[in-house]
Amino acid sequence: MVLAQGLGNSPYSAQGIGELYSPGNITNMGMGDVGVSNANPFYLNLQNPALLARRSRFTVFEVGLISQSKTIKQNISNDLKSQSNFAGNLGYLALSFPANSRWNISLNLKPYTYVNYNIQRVEAVPGTAYTAVYNYTGKGGLNKATFANGFRLTKNIYAGVEASFLFGNITNSSDARAALSSSGDLLVTHLNRTNYSDIVYKLGAAWRPKLNDTWTLNVGATYDPQIRVKATQTDIYQQTTLSGQAITAPDTARLNSNALSTLPQQMHFGVSVEKGNTLLIGVDAGFQKWSEYRTADNRPGNLADAMNVGAGIEYTPKPTSNRYRDLITYRAGFQYNKLPYQTNGTQLTDINGSLGISIPLGAYYVNHVTLSLVGGQRGVLTGTQIKEQYVRIGIGFSLNDVWFRKTVID
């Protein structure tokens, strides 16, 4: 499936349920992923369901595409190893429409995590002249199909809820090469496949008081509760020669056995100020209790609690102008992430900067093409830690129209 292809090789995706995709859209991507408190009438908000109710009478359909170029470096026995890769994926498909003047509904499909790694470890076998070779590979990921609702409770207070069907599978395999003097080398292979399928929830709220005739304050928050996700597991062991010839029949330790995996609670907060549809400045912060994560075997995932802080700005010169260049929107942002991954007791960090631009198209310029660029670095070359430098490019299409319009005969 296209949604499960990921964004290239990532050794850290071997941990937990893999690398998480950004919860926002291409618009948010260009401004530090800021979007918990702010919304725009021309674009969907995928981060806070409450802000769906800020949309106008337009129905909007959005498509997002993401690609990433990454260079991975690591010091191994004082020798600097480097690898580069490039990959792309469908970021999301989303549709939102008004149910009435106070209630908006959204349907979207997007990837949630991806797993893509291939790691080799070579070690001397103590007390022998042999060398052991261990290979670890992983593929797959989880996706979300979401039904979200946003409600305007009063003039300035909004609430929202979304239910998502979480589905997908992750396959982890490993093999160990053992040397036998009598019959040559053999491989001991283990394959684990976990299929996930369950419903997860998110709650959202927002408050938009007027500061004066020009400026508006936006405050938003979302909460994902801790949840036990249904899963099935299959484990297969086998011994083969290096050429792949079976020495023993596959030993199926588990075949589609029922299991439960614990996903942690998450909280996100945002504050922003906006001047009409001309200028917006915002800050978001998020906290994820990944120490609560448990595998489908109900074992700790050796993950740490994570947090992220982002700041962004959005500027449209004159949104009511008839001149095309006055309607182009510009964005910039910065983000600091403390990731759940740890190496020798050191928690991995991610620092990135972003730029974005939206170009209006079509009749009345209500449709937009958005381009966002993110450049960042994860980790440093200390000890066995892996340093990743990446450039991420996103392109989004936002199409607005009036649906379900009643025919009026004069």
Model confidence band, residue 5 (pLDDT cutoffs 50, 70, 90):
low
What is the tens place of the pLDDT at every residue in 332-363?
A: 999 999 999 988 788 899 999 999 999 998 87
Model confidence band, residue 2 (pLDDT cutoffs 50, 70, 90):
very low
Domains in the chain and their CATH numbers?
A: 2-401 (2.40.160.60)
HSE, side-chain direction, 13 A CA sphere, residue 396: 30
Q: What is the pLDDT of residue 178?
A: 67
What span, in angstroms and rounded, lies between the C-alpha atoms of 68 and 88?
A: 6
What is the tens place of the pLDDT at every residue in 275-311?
A: 988 999 999 999 999 999 999 988 998 899 999 999 9
Write down the pTM of the prediction. 0.89
Q: Is 66 helix (H, G, I), strand (E, B) or coil?
A: strand
Residue from 218, 216, 268, 265 nearest 48 by CA: 268
Q: What is the pLDDT of residue 3?
A: 44
Task: Tally Cβ neighbours within 10 Å of residue 249.
Answer: 8
Answer whether residue 4 shows pLDDT above 60.
Answer: no
Q: What's the one-letter identity of residue 198? A: D
Q: What is the pLDDT of residue 258?
A: 92
Q: What's the average model confidence in pLDDT over 84-92?
A: 90
Give residue for tokens 């588990």: 254
What span, in angstroms and rounded, lies between the C-alpha atoms of 232 and 197?
A: 9
Q: Output the 3-class SS for 32-46.
A: CCCCCCCCCCCCCCC
What is the tens place of the pLDDT at every residue in 194-221?
A: 999 999 999 999 999 999 999 999 999 9
What span, in angstroms and rounded, lies between the C-alpha atoms of 368 and 359?
A: 5
Q: What is the pLDDT of residue 1?
A: 37
Cα-only R_g, the chain: 24
Quote the strand ranges of 125-213, DSSP E: 131-152, 157-180, 184-207
Q: Is 332 helix (H, G, I), strand (E, B) or coil?
A: strand
Q: What is the pLDDT of residue 249?
A: 76
